[in-house]
Structure 1
């Protein structure tokens, strides 16, 4: 009888150790949305931010009971904080990018307002209606858009780098793409499903 308990104990310990080794660091989607919203408010200012909050997820108690018992037991030993990483968006490089974007926004804002420049579905910006830009300003606006896209791409890459997770770059970009649109001011244009829509 004692021999059977030892086998079960050894098997349980082996399973536990294998589980610990195979814990993945998942992309922290909720933390990424919060970080994106903070950065966007810093760049655009509070006037470009929507009052609506993203749809809340299920209550925590429901989420807890839906997980298998062994997962909950494992989390008792290895806290969920270890499996679900926070997102670091505080680095000198990220601050420098934000600063450039914040300065540029004053020049881009009138073109968002007029509909000349719109938000793309992939987290960048583009000239949507060149005809609404006076001919003398078109080169300058094209330059602003190119610089903005360069900084946005650098921002996504730098956040991934600052977190030691370069593989998160596309997830970060997708998160920002949604949040730029969500936080856009009324009247601004954005792409959705390949079509332009106005907020």
Structure 2
């Protein structure tokens, strides 16, 4: 299947139903700004985080308890990002679009919001307490895998391929928190991210009949 995914120009991924059109539209509109705020906080040293007493509202974001923030949470911390097979088809395609209810969200709109959202833990409420930001490790990993694959594709075009075992090691690290149906799928799912030449250079020959022990050794 990974060969088909690599030939796809665009993949659509459904992130679920939007329960309120007004709030979901507002949440989607805020995604670029959320990414900008997260990137800004990422550039600040940790001491400034703890002394600035910045709040979501002071940074142009809704309070964490708001319904709009709930929709943002459902988009950028969606369980979809933790499913390795789904991530594979999305990362290997040349472009991607998320569907949230009746709304389309281009991947470029979500990437910075997903990657930098964990930096919003620097924002405090009016009592100076940290605001919960949800589990975003799987989401960040998905975006980084997509960027890694895009870079690998570019290097391949320029005949400047990366070392396959380094790429494989990076993918193993990035997918350690992703979900698979069975142990064998963790191996086959990760190998699907590699170009055919990479598996050949690494002398990897696996099939659906390969035992679990052989797959991991």
Tell me the TM-score normalised to structure 2 length.
0.28
> Which is richer in helix?
1
- After TM superposition, the score normalised by the length of structure 1 is 0.30
Rg (Cα) greater in structure: 1
